Amino acid sequence: MKEARVYLDYQATTPVDNRVYEAMHPFFKDNFGNPSSTFHSFGWKAQEAVTDARSSIASVFNSKPDEIIFTSGSTESNNTAIRGVAEKYRDRGDHIITCATEHTSVLSVCNHLSNNGFRITYLPVDKDGLIDLNRLSDSITESTILISLMAANNEIGVTHPVKEIGAIARDKNVIFHTDATQAMGRMKLDVQKLGIDLLSVSGHKIYGPKGIGLLYVSGDNPEIQIEPLILGGGQEKNFRSGTLNVPGIIGLAKAITLCEGLYPEEMSVIKRLRDRLLTGIRESIDDISINGSLVHRIPNNLNISFRGVEAQALLMMMDDIALSLGSACHGKTIEPSHVLRALHKQEGDMFSAVRFGIGRYTSEGDIDYTVQRLSETISMLRAKKNHTRKPEQKLPKRYST
């Protein structure tokens, strides 16, 4: 394997921004106190820094500081939101609505709950990855306690109409959770205007550190209760016990405020790069199909199937560019992604799908190089009939990112 020289996997993770790194730095060694230590200045300093971080994050979401609960990332936030509501509101109902294209951290929790007596509606999507809002409304019953629908998809970048979903949820008095992991920094996330009750965000998708995230939990109008997943010292209003990850929290706050400050200019630059990539691909490679709506989409994502080309083989030959597959490998077999399957893509298109994630440090040169490498590699693979993977070849396991 070659060292990759171009990084186009920004939906998987992002490098830490220098400004985030600098902000975190003092909290590893100098200001290392535990914010729960109330009897000395080490604790006070840490407490003060966390309070400031919480306030600056809250102002970005138009929420109150005490509605921000720090977690280890979006997997934990999604688990806490869905399982926490299901357990707390079980007396009120046993029905949850989600969507077939959600991240596995949502789908797995819903699966788990369905094995434990809950009824789950998995809304289908159309060929562009969009849900039908009438179908959402019609699915709500007296026993519906939660709607969990992501703001933007991690594989195809398709956005759900969060404001409309929030209005439906309010109207029917159902709690609304949105996984905003991929939407943060790519759209405005005002929880009041959008009618969001619970919202998940992860640090490492927005140029912050790994292992830190948050769950916004509406504190009034409505006041949402959740049964905690993690019990212990009662930190975070008892919603999430454990000593606070102070450097992570400082980094998350810096990453979020940077995204907010750079929006929307950063997104217009990224969209121009995305369009340059698409135009380049369209001009130099035929027989492609774009997965997911181009209109209802975050600007930093493309997911394209290159007909007749096995994406696995393509990515292995292009290991100087960091990209992601559109399908998942389990041991020796490749399984089509549940997202592309939900779009009713043809079998071949699912296995030839590649995800392109563009970000803060992508240059025009990166895009042009990628187009050139794609064009020459795809011509080679298409010319060579026999490029398919040998059955005995060991494939790396791919997780949902």
Q: Please list the active-site residues.
A: 329
What distance in Å separates the CA atoms of residue 87 and residue 296, rounded to the nearest whole number? 33
- Region binding ligand PLP by CB under 6 A among candidate stretches 93-101, 175-183, 296-304, 359-367: 175-183
Closest approach of Cβ 117 to ligand PLP, in Å?
25
- 69-77, 137-145, 296-304, 382-390 -> range binding ligand PLP (CB under 6 A): 69-77
CA distance 243 to 35: 8
Triad 326, 328, 332: Cα angle to 5°: 135
Residue 399 Cβ vs ligand PLP, minimum distance, rounded to whole Å: 7
Q: Are 306 and 352 contacting, i.e. CB atoms less than 8 angstroms apart?
A: yes
Nearest residue to the partner ligand PLP, using Cβ: 73
* Of 349, 310, 352, 276, residue with least CA distance to 127: 349
User: In the bound complex, what is the minimum distance in angstroms from residue 181's beta carbon to ligand PLP?
Assistant: 4
CA distances from 157 to 22, 135, 187, 287, 290 (A): 30, 22, 12, 21, 11
Contact segment (CB under 6 A) with ligand PLP among 140-148, 174-182, 278-286, 357-365 equals 174-182
CB of 105 to ligand PLP, least distance (A): 5
For ligand PLP, the binding residue among 53, 97, 150, 340 (CB under 6 A) is: 150
179 contributes a contact to ligand PLP by CB under 6 A: yes
Going by C-beta distance under 8 Å and a sequence separation of 6 or more, which residues neighbour residue 47?
Answer: 33, 35, 38
Angle between helices 265-284 and 364-383 (to 10 degrees): 30
- Give the one residue of 47, 105, 218, 245 binding ligand PLP; rule: CB under 6 A: 105
CB of 287 to ligand PLP, least distance (A): 29
300 forms part of the interface with ligand PLP (CB under 6 A): no
**C-beta closer to ligand PLP: residue 73 or 129:** 73
Among 35, 129, 185, 213, binds ligand PLP (CB under 6 A): 213
Give, in order, the Cα–Cα distances in Å from 252 to each of 53, 161, 309: 8, 26, 39
Q: Does 401 bind ligand PLP (CB under 6 A)?
A: yes
| Segment lying near ligand PLP (by CB under 6 A), choices 81-89, 162-170, 179-187, 310-318 | 179-187
Amino acid, res. 333: T
Stated as kind and residue range, the H or E segment containing 53 is helix 41-61
Please identify, using beta-carbon distances, which residue of 77 and 121 lies nearer to ligand PLP.
77
Residue 181 lies near ligand PLP (rule: CB under 6 A): yes
CB of 251 to ligand PLP, least distance (A): 13
**Binding test (CB under 6 A) with ligand PLP, winner from 83, 95, 103, 240:** 103
Q: Does 74 bind ligand PLP (CB under 6 A)?
A: yes
Non-local (6+) Cβ contacts of 270 within 8 A are 299, 300, 358, 359, 360, 362
Q: Rounded to the nearest whole angstrom, what is the least distance from the CB of residue 215 to ligand PLP in the complex?
A: 11
* Residues forming a β-bridge with 350: none
Interface with ligand PLP: number of residues (CB under 6 A): 14
Which segments of 62-132 does DSSP mark as H helices, in order? 74-88, 104-114
**Which range binds ligand PLP by CB under 6 A, 73-81, 276-284, 286-294, 340-348?**
73-81
> Which residue number, 75 or 257, has a Cβ lying nearer to ligand PLP?
75
CA angle 101, 104, 108 (to 5 degrees): 115
235-240 contacts at long range (C-beta below 8 A, 24 or more positions apart): 235/36, 236/69, 236/70, 237/66, 237/69, 239/69, 239/80, 239/84, 239/215, 240/69, 240/70, 240/71, 240/76, 240/80, 240/215
Residue whose CB is less far from ligand PLP, 103 or 160: 103
Segment interacting with ligand PLP, rule: CB under 6 A, options 54-62, 177-185, 275-283, 333-341:
177-185
Residue 213 C-beta: closest distance to ligand PLP, Å: 5
3-class secondary structure, 334? strand
Residues near ligand PLP, by CB under 6 A: 73-75, 78, 103, 105, 150, 154, 179, 181-182, 202, 213, 401
